[in-house]
């Protein structure tokens, strides 16, 4: 399969060059960068909390899980096949990337997250909007010279599978998990996240274990689930209320989230750590804190401030 993909990728280089030769301009590059931004960690740090804190808890939980699992699936495939990105030159690289190319993480998360949300919203106009976003995020990766068409198509397929599996399994598992006590829930969440971390492929370019991207995702997953345990057993956070409260809730939550996102990173950069395992452990805790703040600590704060 790898040999076939590499042959297909080599044959598709002229198509990438044609796209860049016929569509490239400063304005188009800015537009394509915007669509690629819609698939980045920074965008989802804004979008996921907004959905969970102001629109719908169910939508927020499902899209957050779709983000984690689609990103994990894309990374797992990337490091398993380790297929390089388009050669530069002749292709112009207009976006910085360092990981392998197949599959496109942007295309995977676009299909996984936006597809899951569209299935929950169930509005025709939203399906059209989501389809447009998914297409242009994928196209932007080709335009920016960081992916072959096969990377994007593979990402769309992977994200679709993640969305379908999540939408099918979550409703069946939810009542079972809710019947557990809090300690069992937390233990299961931690064990599941660590299992995903252990089985993730090793980055051949970076010595040591575990893979940094897997550490971030599994830490985020545990933090999200831990916060949800708190909510299910005690907080019972509600998103209803006037929009003035919802916006204030979102702004206050973003401030807290930024503190826990930036603060541990500054601490990690300042510590003279040489042990890779210690660095990765702190990274896991950092992303676990971010997830816990989003799903647990911030909703608790909203209740204390009478914003929920």
Task: Give pLDDT tens digits for 122-145.
Answer: 999 999 999 999 999 999 999 999
Q: What is the DSSP code string of 72-124?
A: HHHHHHHHHH-PPPPPTTTS---S---S--SSPHHHHHIIIIIHHHHHHH--H
Cα atoms found within 13 Å of the Cα of residue 121, Cβ hemisphere only: 18
Q: Determine the pLDDT at residue 206.
A: 64
Sign of CA dihedral 150, 153, 156, 159: negative
Asked if residue 99 lies in contact with residue 180, where contact means CB atoms within 8 angstroms, the answer is no
Q: Determine the pLDDT at residue 272.
A: 76
Task: Give pLDDT tens digits for 75-119.
Answer: 999 999 988 899 888 988 888 888 888 999 999 999 999 999 999
Using alpha carbons only, how large is the chain's radius of gyration in Å?
Answer: 20
Q: Torsion angle, CA of 250/251/256/262, rounded to 10 degrees? A: 110
CB-based burial label for 242 (10 Å; 0-12, 13-18, 19+): exposed
For the chain, residues with pLDDT lower than 70 are 1, 205-209
Question: What is the distance between the alpha carbons of residues 229 and 277, in angstroms, rounded to a whole number?
Answer: 28
Contacts (Cβ under 8 Å, ≥6 apart) of 256? 293, 297, 298, 301
Question: In the structure encoding, which two tokens stand for residue 103, read together?
Answer: 């599959």
Q: Where are the domains of the chain?
A: 1-171, 180-308
> What's the N-to-C CA distance of the chain in angstroms?
52
pTM recorded for the entire structure = 0.92
Question: In the structure encoding, which two tokens stand for residue 191, read together?
Answer: 């064990």
Q: Determine the pLDDT at residue 208.
A: 61
């Amino acid at each position: 399969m790898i040999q076939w993909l590499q042959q297909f990728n080599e044959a598709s280089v002229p198509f990438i060059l044609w796209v860049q030769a016929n569509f490239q301009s400063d304005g188009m590059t800015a537009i394509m960068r915007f669509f690629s931004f819609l698939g980045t960690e920074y965008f989802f740090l804004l979008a996921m909390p907004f959905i969970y804190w102001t629109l719908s808890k169910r939508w927020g939980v499902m899209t957050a899980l779709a983000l984690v699992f689609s990103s994990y699936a894309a990374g797992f495939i990337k490091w398993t096949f380790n297929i390089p990105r388009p050669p530069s030159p002749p292709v112009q690289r207009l976006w910085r990337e360092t990981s392998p190319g197949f599959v496109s993480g942007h295309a995977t998360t676009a299909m996984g997250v936006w597809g899951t949300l569209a299935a929950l919203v169930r509005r025709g106009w939203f399906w059209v909007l989501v389809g447009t976003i998914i297409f242009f995020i994928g196209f932007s990766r080709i335009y920016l010279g960081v992916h072959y068409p096969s990377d994007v198509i593979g990402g769309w397929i992977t994200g679709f599978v993640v969305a379908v599996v999540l939408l099918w399994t979550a409703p069946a598992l939810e009542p079972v998990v809710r019947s557990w006590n809090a300690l069992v829930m937390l233990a299961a969440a931690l064990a599941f996240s660590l299992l995903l971390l252990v089985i993730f492929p090793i980055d051949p370019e970076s010595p040591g274990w575990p893979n940094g991207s897997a550490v971030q995702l599994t830490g985020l997953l545990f933090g999200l689930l831990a916060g949800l345990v708190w909510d299910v057993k005690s907080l019972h956070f509600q998103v209803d209320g006037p929009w003035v409260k919802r916006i204030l809730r979102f702004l206050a939550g973003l401030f807290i989230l930024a503190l826990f996102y930036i603060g541990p990173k500054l601490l990690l950069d300042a510590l003279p750590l040489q042990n890779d395992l210690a660095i990765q452990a702190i990274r896991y805790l950092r992303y676990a804190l971010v997830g816990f703040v989003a799903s647990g600590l911030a909703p608790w704060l909203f209740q204390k401030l009478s914003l929920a």
